[in-house]
């Protein structure tokens, strides 16, 4: 029997799990009629078909296809796989390479012709749907109703019309939140900064938008795009819509905002939504303009020198940007002032007590010293591998025992199915037999799917991993000085560092920092230094699955990096250590 995997998807929160169940039901019926053996089911719920990148179900389907777990994929229609032309073509190529046929109930076996024609039709459908949705939202806005999300200070007004349909886009003022909005504008007009306002609101336990904490950016927003509390014209009874549009990044599948020209903005007077007086609004606008003029030259200079170029290229501004964590609250540490890292939650929200900062150059220098000086010995590697083998062998023994139980259960289920079929052939059919047969077939499919899993092979580690790593890191650190190579080697260095944790020390001005190594990056670095092929290899067996490799790396992490500590501080003494998986204790 042909081994078959089923795939189903629905794209909207307004649909339900029954849509998935219905798709699986008709796919199962088709598989039974064609004598296919169902190996497993894969699904993506409430996820758009415009991109496969963020869909875990389709990613698992592709991974298992490459592992040879099934021979065919059965879905209701090609648009359930994807509506994106490029994604359909790419998936089709991957399935072809894996020797897996893609079959849908609507189109039959998918060929290059289906990929081209149906892919184009699905793409046109998405484009047409977007236009119709935009047109419908514009009509709603021109009637004075909301065309987007819920703003702070308002509630969604739920009611139905005479025909029983839900009326969408109506809002009402939330009196408690309206008082907070008035407080923000009043304090800002009187000279208080957005950061100070946010800290005070958090200190008073006043929840921000969607129940989150307040931050300075929530209040000040983006002046050019008119976002944030201080720029929301709805507070003076003017509904502004179509300020920006969203497009999907083809690399990540995530939506990215793009500003629209102001000539395309739609404005509608909604006096019933007014929260602020004109005097308070104008006072806040005047102060915002004064601040903008005062710091315009500084902001323009920063954007011209580094910010704009680097953001456009989606590269980290500094070597360890986005990788530094506060040891007190677990939040991000960012550049706060004068090229110094500090806790964002402390300096932006006032919700963390970690007020220490550290110069960026000092932190980068010490981190580079840490990844080059604290490493492995051959004995540590052997201990890690031995521990891993012990755990994997235990898991394999348990898996083999479970596999034997599943085999016996499968034999029992298949005998029961054969008995029912034999009774039907002998003319003893009863209506209850169909439900029982369906239940037994589902049990059989589940047991067959579990039997596909195999024991995990144990990877070996290159015996010279420590020396290869040292040579590779020395090259990377030296290459950082070369402007032509800096961007490339910076990515390699970032892959070695998992994160850097900054915590306050007991003395005034003292900062502790922990450097946590990323094992996958370390092993990749060694692989590059050793020629690419000698780091992880198998004793003639199939490479382990991704989850098992990650499990191996996590186990290896506890041993591979040494626990030797050094110390440095904001002036002299910030302690740091190289760890992976298990933090070291301060000393």
Domain assignment present for residue 291? The answer is yes
Average pLDDT score over the chain = 77
* Residue 567 DSSP symbol: E
Q: Which of 270, 289, 305 is the last residue of a domain?
A: 305
Q: How many CA atoms lie within 13 A of 516 on its CB side?
A: 17
Q: Give SS3 for 249.
A: coil
Which spans in 67-164 are helix H?
Answer: 78-81, 85-97, 112-142
Indicate if 161 and 274 belong to the same structural domain. yes
Indicate if 162 and 67 belong to the same structural domain. no
Q: Which of 262, 284, 305 is the last residue of a domain?
A: 305
Per-residue pLDDT band for 240 (boundaries 50, 70, 90) equals very high
Q: Give SS3 for 340.
A: strand
Q: What is the pLDDT of residue 428?
A: 78
Per-residue pLDDT band for 205 (boundaries 50, 70, 90) equals very high
Indicate if 105 and 194 belong to the same structural domain. no
Share of the chain above pLDDT 90, in %: 28
Q: Is pLDDT above 90 for 553?
A: no
More confident residue, 523 or 258: 258
Indicate if 181 and 90 belong to the same structural domain. no
Q: Which of 47-56, 113-122, 168-177, 273-282 has the lowest mean pLDDT?
A: 47-56
Domain assignment present for residue 567? The answer is no
Q: Which of 125, 144, 163 is the last residue of a domain?
A: 125
Give the H or E element holding residue 256: strand 255-259
Structurally, how many domains does the chain consist of? 3
Q: What is the pLDDT of residue 51?
A: 59
Share of the chain above pLDDT 70, in %: 73
CA distance 201 to 208: 8
Each residue's pLDDT tens digit, 424-457:
877 777 778 888 888 888 888 778 776 655 444 4
Q: Is pLDDT above 60 for 172?
A: yes
552 in Cβ contact with 544 (< 8 Å): yes
CATH number of the structural domain spanning residue 161: 3.90.1750
Q: Which of 63, 74, 82, 66 is nearest to 39 (CA)?
A: 74
Per-residue pLDDT band for 50 (boundaries 50, 70, 90) equals low
207 in Cβ contact with 176 (< 8 Å): no
Q: What is the pLDDT of residue 452?
A: 59
Q: Which of 228-232, 308-312, 512-516 has the lowest mean pLDDT?
A: 308-312
Tokens of 424: 């039907």
Per-residue pLDDT band for 465 (boundaries 50, 70, 90) equals low
CA distance 480 to 147: 49
Q: Which of 353, 350, 356 is nearest to 215 (CA)?
A: 350
498 in Cβ contact with 518 (< 8 Å): yes
Q: What is the pLDDT of residue 303?
A: 58
Tokens of 326: 């506060």
Indicate if 158 and 300 belong to the same structural domain. yes
Q: What is the pLDDT of residue 541?
A: 30
CA distance 250 to 232: 31
Q: What is the pLDDT of residue 70?
A: 93
Q: What is the pLDDT of residue 389?
A: 59
Q: Give SS3 for 102.
A: strand
Per-residue pLDDT band for 340 (boundaries 50, 70, 90) equals very high
Q: What is the pLDDT of residue 536?
A: 35
Tell me the torsion sign for CA atoms 80, 86, 89, 90.
negative
Domain assignment present for residue 138? The answer is no
Q: What is the pLDDT of residue 354?
A: 92
CA dihedral 307→311→313→318, nearest 10 degrees, is 70
CA distance 382 to 47: 45
Indicate if 280 and 163 belong to the same structural domain. yes
Q: State mean pLDDT over 108-117.
A: 89
Beta bridge partners of 334: 342
DSSP string for residues in 161-224: -TTSPBP-S-EEE-HHHHHHHHHHHHHHHTT--HHHHHHHHHHTT---GGGPPP-HHHHH--TT
Sole residue written with tokens 């003022």: 173
Indicate if 163 and 282 belong to the same structural domain. yes
CA distance 404 to 450: 11
Q: What is the pTM of this model?
A: 0.54
Tokens of 95: 């399935």
CA distance 191 to 196: 10
Q: Give SS3 for 515.
A: strand
Each residue's pLDDT tens digit, 496-520:
777 889 999 888 888 888 877 655 4
Q: State mean pLDDT over 241-260.
A: 80
454 Cβ partners below 8 Å, 6+ apart? 542
Q: Which of 11-15, 24-28, 396-400 has the lowest mean pLDDT?
A: 11-15
268 in Cβ contact with 144 (< 8 Å): yes
Distance of CA 356 to the CA centre of its chain: 30
Each residue's pLDDT tens digit, 477-494:
888 888 888 877 888 788
Q: What is the pLDDT of residue 330?
A: 92
Q: What is the pLDDT of residue 583?
A: 32
Q: What is the pLDDT of residue 154?
A: 94
233 in Cβ contact with 273 (< 8 Å): no
Q: What is the pLDDT of residue 16?
A: 53
| Helix then strand then coil, % of the chain, to nearest 5 | 50, 15, 35
Tokens of 158: 């739920």
Indicate if 67 and 164 belong to the same structural domain. no
Indicate if 92 and 178 belong to the same structural domain. no
Q: Is pLDDT above 70 for 15?
A: no
Q: Is pLDDT above 50 for 495?
A: yes
Q: What are phi and psi of 213, to 5 degrees?
A: -75, 155
Q: Which of 360, 364, 380, 381 is nearest to 372 (CA)?
A: 364
249 in Cβ contact with 168 (< 8 Å): no
270 Cβ partners below 8 Å, 6+ apart? 144, 234, 237, 238, 239
CATH number of the structural domain spanning residue 102: 3.40.50.1390
Residue range(s) defining the domain that contains residue 248: 154-305
Q: What is the pLDDT of residue 565?
A: 35
Domain assignment present for residue 367? The answer is no
Indicate if 85 and 158 belong to the same structural domain. no
Task: Write b or e for each residue in 201-230: b if 16 or more Cβ atoms lie within 10 A of its Cβ, otherwise e.
Answer: bbeeeeebeeeebbbbebbbbeeeebbbbb
Q: State mean pLDDT over 381-397.
A: 63
Q: Which of 44, 130, 128, 26 is nearest to 87 (CA)?
A: 44
């Amino acid at each position: 029997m042909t081994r078959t995997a089923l795939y189903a998807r629905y794209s909207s929160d307004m649909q339900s799990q029954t849509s998935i169940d219905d798709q699986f039901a008709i796919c199962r019926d088709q598989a039974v009629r064609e004598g296919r053996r169902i190996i497993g089911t894969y699904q993506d719920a409430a996820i758009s078909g415009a991109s496969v990148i963020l869909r875990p179900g389709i990613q698992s389907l592709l991974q298992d296809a490459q592992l040879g777990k099934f021979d065919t994929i059965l879905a209701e229609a090609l648009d359930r796989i994807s509506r994106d032309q490029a994604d359909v073509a790419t998936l089709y190529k991957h399935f072809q390479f894996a020797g897996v046929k893609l079959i849908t109930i609507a189109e039959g076996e998918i060929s290059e012709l289906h990929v081209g024609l149906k892919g184009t039709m699905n793409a046109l459908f998405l484009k047409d749907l977007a236009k119709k949705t935009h047109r419908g939202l514009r009509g709603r806005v021109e009637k004075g109703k909301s065309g987007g999300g819920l703003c702070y200070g308002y509630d969604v007004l739920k009611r139905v019309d005479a025909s029983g349909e839900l009326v969408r886009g109506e809002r009402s003022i939330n009196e408690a939140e309206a008082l907070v909005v008035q407080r923000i504008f009043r304090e800002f007009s009187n000279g208080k900064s957005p950061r100070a306002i946010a800290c005070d609101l958090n200190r008073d336990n006043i929840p921000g938008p969607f129940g989150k904490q307040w931050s300075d950016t929530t209040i000040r927003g983006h002046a050019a795009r008119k976002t944030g509390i201080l720029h929301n014209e709805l507070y003076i009874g003017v509904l502004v819509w179509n300020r920006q549009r969203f497009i999907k990044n083809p690399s990540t599948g995530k939506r990215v905002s793009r500003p629209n020209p102001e000539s395309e903005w739609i404005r509608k007077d909604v006096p019933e939504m007014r929260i602020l007086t004109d005097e308070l609004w104008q006072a806040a606008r005047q102060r915002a303009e004064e601040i903008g003029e005062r710091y315009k030259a500084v902001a323009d200079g920063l954007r011209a020198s580094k910010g704009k170029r680097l953001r456009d290229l989606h590269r980290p501004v500094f070597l360890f940007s986005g990788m530094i964590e506060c040891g007190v609250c677990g939040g991000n540490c960012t550049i706060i002032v004068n090229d110094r890292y500090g806790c964002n939650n402390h300096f932006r929200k006032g919700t963390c007590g970690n007020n220490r900062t550290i110069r960026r150059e000092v932190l980068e220098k010490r981190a580079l010293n840490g990844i080059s000086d604290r490493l492995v010995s051959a004995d540590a590697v052997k201990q890690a591998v031995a521990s891993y083998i012990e755990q994997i062998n235990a898991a394999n023994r348990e898996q083999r025992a479970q596999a034997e139980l599943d085999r016996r259960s499968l034999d029992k289920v298949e005998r029961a199915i054969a008995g029912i079929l034999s009774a039907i052939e002998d003319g003893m059919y009863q209506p209850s037999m169909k439900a029982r047969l369906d239940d037994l077939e589902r049990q059989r499919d589940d047991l067959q799917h579990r039997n596909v899993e195999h024991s995990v092979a144990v990877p070996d580690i290159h015996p010279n991993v420590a020396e290869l790593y040292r040579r590779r890191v020395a090259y990377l650190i030296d290459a950082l000085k070369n402007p032509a190579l800096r961007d490339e080697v910076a990515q390699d260095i970032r892959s070695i560092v998992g994160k850097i944790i900054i915590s306050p020390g007991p003395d005034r001005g003292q900062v502790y920092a922990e450097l946590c190594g990323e094992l996958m990056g370390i092993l990749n670095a060694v692989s590059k230094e050793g020629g690419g092929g000698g780091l992880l290899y198998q004793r003639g067996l199939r490479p382990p699955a991704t989850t098992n490799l990650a499990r191996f790396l996590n186990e290896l992490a506890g041993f591979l990096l040494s626990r030797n500590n050094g110390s440095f501080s904001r002036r002299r003494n910030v302690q740091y250590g190289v760890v992976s998986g298990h933090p070291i204790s301060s000393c």
